[in-house]
Chain A
């Protein structure tokens, strides 16, 4: 099902492209690193809404998890292995694959037929078979949410844009400890690499493609 979405609508910026046609049959949601424990507040709520919508529409949800595969962490590059502290509290909390901290947070748990991909790098394209999976599923457009915005989300989304995917960053479904760096990521995407939308905005836009005849009354039922 094809439809047109608003794209880079800032006419005060060079190289802006106002709209883009996408095909919902070739569109997926990519949920990046939303793992235990859940302290992401409204961002988790928005991820849940997005996952629910994509699931209801029969569209693809793909979950990416960060962690490492060997107890001594030597499967990561050396700087990462040395410095990797998940919580930032100095405890070096384990993110070993299989540990509860490496699991997707409960509210967002994937179904048995949703893809979960484990990475031990920042970008999901640098240590996994994600690209092969997207190719196999003929995905062209990716909505991206998760944490942390300026780190794994940004690297993964840049990797997707570079590989030709249409990338929509979901502003209020991405979390970063730094509001400033969150904004830096969104600024670059909005202007140069893809587009940025809030959850409600994109759900309205996608509802309009899925049910073009629906009116606002439908929302009140």
Chain B
């Protein structure tokens, strides 16, 4: 079965596609880095953001009032249609972090309060209990995007996923990198505008505008697309 959805990639006249035929049953949800180190005000990056109250108030405000409720909605609709929900985590395997790329991260940030990098065994690496199920695929990564340091591409193909719906944190870092790589590898990649957050509104909106081989849609669009095609 296939449906046609509006698909707009426009870069000042480049790359115009106005609609795209997809098989809705081959849709998977990729929930990026929705883990305690990024979602709890007094854990993980929350410690660093204490020194940046404007960023902190914007980020956690949007996360709690908009993003997390929409991620709950997305997960509910994917589960209802027996579609895959795949989680990624920012989680390195070795406690001293030497399996993390060397640049600014390993040398300077691991072990410092508010570091955005988390050991797999830490509270900051834990997923939100209500969202993930033991039967979901969980992919740990030591990079911003999930494709470079995991076998996610192979897993998605094993799962039969052609359309990747991306939600999570942070919009312009891990989420955008995931969506860019997914689109570049040939997946139909959809970033969910109101199920992602960055540290500032500008970063978020510019990221969603800069879609290269991925597009930006709303939670309601995704829910209606799946319910409409697969039965509410």
User: Which residues of chain A have a CB within 8 Å of any CB of chain B?
Assistant: 7-8, 12-15, 17, 20, 77-80, 82-85, 88-90, 121-123, 125-126, 140, 148, 150-151, 154-155, 158-159, 161-167, 177-178, 180-181, 183-185, 187-188, 192-194
Contacts and interface: CB of A to CB of B under 8 A. Distances in A.
B102 interface: yes
Contacts of A12: 52
Interface residues of B, number: 51
Given A12-B52, A79-B20, A181-B210, 17 more contacts: A14-B48, A14-B49, A79-B183, A79-B188, A82-B17, A85-B14, A126-B185, A150-B11, A159-B181, A161-B144, A162-B177, A177-B11, A184-B203, A188-B173, A192-B144, A192-B172, A193-B144
Contacts of A155: 180-181, 184, 212
B204 to A, nearest CB: 11
A13 B114 CA distance: 12
Given A78-B186, A184-B209, A14 B13 contact: no
B14 A159 contact: no
Contacts of A184: 172, 203, 206-207, 209-210
A39 to B, nearest CB: 14
Nearest to B117: A15
Nearest to A150: B210
B211 to A, nearest CB: 10
Interface stretch (B33-41, B61-69, B103-111, B131-139): B103-111
Contact of B104 (A8, A151, A180): A8
A208 to B, nearest CB: 21
Contacts of A194: 103
A39 B202 CA distance: 30
B184 A164 contact: no
